[in-house]
Every structure is written in C-alpha cells, then in structure tokens.
Amino acid sequence: MGIYQGTALFPPEERQGLAYQLRKAAASICANMAEGCGRRGSRELSRFLQIAFASACEVEYLLFLSGELGYMGTRLHEQLSQQLLEVKKMLASFIHKLRRGQPSEVSHQKSAIRSQPSEVSHQKSGINQRLSSTN
C-alpha cells in the first residue's frame, strides 16, 4: 500500500510511466507468491518465489530512481526501501529453505502465506458483488 500512496504524489506526466511501472512491479511480488502457492510442489513454488524476488529487485531500482528524481520524499523512500529489504530477506530465506528441502518448515510457511487475506481476493469479491447487483 505504501507504493500506491507514494506514487500518488508523482507528477502527472509520470503517472502512466514510472508510477505505473512501480505499482505493477510491487503488485507482482505478491501475485507471484500467491500463484506459487497454488502450484504443485516445492520446485514450482520456488520458481515463483524467485520471480517474486526479481520483481522486488525491480521495485528496489524503481524506488531508487524515484528518489533520485525527487518524486518521493526522503523519509517515505527510506521507509519503503527498508520494508522492501525485509521482503527480499524473507523471500531469499524461503527460497533457500525450499532448495534445502525442509518440508516441515516449508509447508508451515506455505500455509501461512495462503492464510493471509489477499487484496486481490477482496477486489475480486467486490467486482463480483458489483456484477451481481447490475444483473
């Protein structure tokens, strides 16, 4: 959510450029984690977590660029960068554990990811409700 709030302050000419790309890359982190949890086996989960990690690296660069261009305040930039660093550490740790094949810890972490409410499912239910009310 911080990325969305931070990019809301970008100049109008960047809303369809850098702001859009930053939002899309940030959303891709969670989307790939969710998709990986829906796949079979640790190998596929690991692959999607690696994609999520790559998206986090993209967000890291785009945050850097946003800061350099002065589109984001220093405090917000530092806060988002710190949060992103934590996400990257968690992803790296989870990927490492999957590769080492620790099934008990892996299945616990996978179920923890699945149990967290996702913004996508909330949006999907809102869309379904709107579609139902129009019919």
Residue 122: pLDDT band (50, 70, 90) is: very low
- Helix, strand counts (H, E) of the chain: 6, 0
Query: CB neighbours (10 Å) of residue 39?
Result: 13
Per residue in 3-31, pLDDT tens? 988 898 899 988 889 999 999 999 999 99
**Residue 102 scores a pLDDT above 70:** no
Mean pLDDT on 106-132 = 46
Which of the pair, 116 or 101, is modelled with greater confidence? 101
Which of the pair, 116 or 96, is modelled with greater confidence? 96
Mean pLDDT on 129-134 = 41
Mean pLDDT on 77-94 = 94
CATH number of the domain encompassing residue 63: 1.20.1440.60
Burial tier of 87 (Cβ tally within 10 Å: 0-12, 13-18, 19+): buried
pLDDT of the residue at 46: 93
Mean pLDDT on 70-85 = 92
Mean of the per-residue pLDDT values for the chain? 80
Mean pLDDT on 53-77 = 93
Give the C-alpha separation, 5 to 35, whole Å: 25
Per the structure, the complete domain to which residue 39 belongs is given by 2-134
Mean pLDDT on 38-48 = 90
> What domain count does the chain have?
1
